Amino acid sequence: MSALEQFRELMRRDRVFEFLVEDNEIIDVSHKVILYIEGLSVSFDGFKALNDLNLYVNDGELRCLIGANGAGKTTLMDVITGKTRPDSGKVFFGQRVDLLKRTEAEIAMLGIGRKFQKPTVFEFHSVFDNIELALKTSKDMLPTLFSRTTDAQMDRIDEVLKTIGLKEHRMQLAGALSHGQKQWLEIGMLLASGPRVMLVDEPVAGMTAQETERTAELLTALAGERTVIVVEHDMEFVRSIAKTVTVLHQGSVLAEGTMNEVQENAAVREVYLGEEQ
Ligand SMILES: Nc1ncnc2c1ncn2[C@@H]1O[C@H](COP(=O)(O)OP(=O)(O)O)[C@@H](O)[C@H]1O
Ligand SMILES: [Mg+2]
């Protein structure tokens, strides 16, 4: 293992906490699945936003979630991150960690990070400062917030800047970045916290074609070492990144497969792509 690999290994939250947490909190992906969702239902005033939904995501996968407005995509992310409590169902992180028994803060600390649609970078701080702040305020780093940034943290910031393609912009004010660059910066801020699973909501909305292409490359590169779940409407984008696409409809999984399989699925064509049969 190289020093960098060793460092990466140490930065993984499940490893960082290994000596602190109870045995059942180590994320067990021995069966390859990192997220188990079964029979999940959520209702708002009797309306079923999620209806007996089943979803299994493998460790290291890049999964796209698509579906018309109101299909339940955001609600699903809200349940995974502990923001919304379901009426029934199971949500497990690896084999053993029951996410429904955890608070939103605990779930974040276990390594499930989320990027909302609208970028929320600190506009009056530099690109570097934004990443540094995200690194130092990530839950496992709280005590370091007011201390000197260590060499290891500097390396980590550099690595993140390189990954998101903003190394040349490190001293620039975040507010001066293009919309696309702000989205990358926010992905970088999420990355700095070392998540095991990244939930990304509509990353390419409002991006130029070139920015969209680079985002596809970025998210593809991020998967593998971590699991990335992307909600997106842009079909060309989904086609360019997705290995497996899950189509949600009325709170359930309507179809799952490669983009081609999903697009050829009669039920999908009827309800989502709006094509006549
Ligand atoms: N807090 C809430 N209160 C009432 N209804 C909600 C709430 N959140 C979502 N819904 C409803 O649940 C359905 C699914 O919403 P959502 O998960 O946001 O879908 P998507 O993200 O796929 O567009 C929609 O009909 C929406 O109006
Ligand atoms: Mg939504």
**pLDDT score at 248:** 95
44 lines ligand 1 (CB under 6 A): yes
Prediction pTM value:
0.86
Give the total residue count for the chain: 277
246 lines ligand 1 (CB under 6 A): no
Whole-angstrom distance, CA of residue 53 vs CA of residue 65: 13
Closest ligand to Cα 65: 1
- Give the mean pLDDT per block of 10 residues along the chain (277 residues): 62 52 66 95 96 97 92 95 97 95 92 83 95 78 66 92 96 95 94 92 91 94 94 87 90 95 90 58
72 lines ligand 1 (CB under 6 A): yes
124 lines ligand 1 (CB under 6 A): no
**pLDDT score at 246:** 96
**pLDDT score at 193:** 85
Question: Which residues does 185 contact at the CB level (< 8 Å), separation at least 6?
Answer: 119, 121, 127, 130, 131, 164, 166, 174, 177
**pLDDT score at 19:** 47
67 lines ligand 1 (CB under 6 A): yes
70 lines ligand 1 (CB under 6 A): yes
**pLDDT score at 181:** 95
**pLDDT score at 151:** 87
Instruction: Count Cβ atoms below 10 Å from residue 214 Cβ, excluding itself.
Output: 18
Supply the DSSP symbol for 233: -
Give residue 69 CA to ligand 2 midpoint distance, Å: 7
Closest ligand to Cα 42: 1
**pLDDT score at 141:** 54
Closest residue to atom 1 of ligand 1, CA basis: 44
74 lines ligand 1 (CB under 6 A): yes
Are 187 and 131 in contact, with CB atoms under 8 Å apart?
no
Candidate from 74, 79, 272 with most ligand 1 atoms within 8 A of CB, to mutate = 74
Closest ligand to Cα 71: 1
Closest alpha carbon to 247 in 38, 115, 43, 68: 68
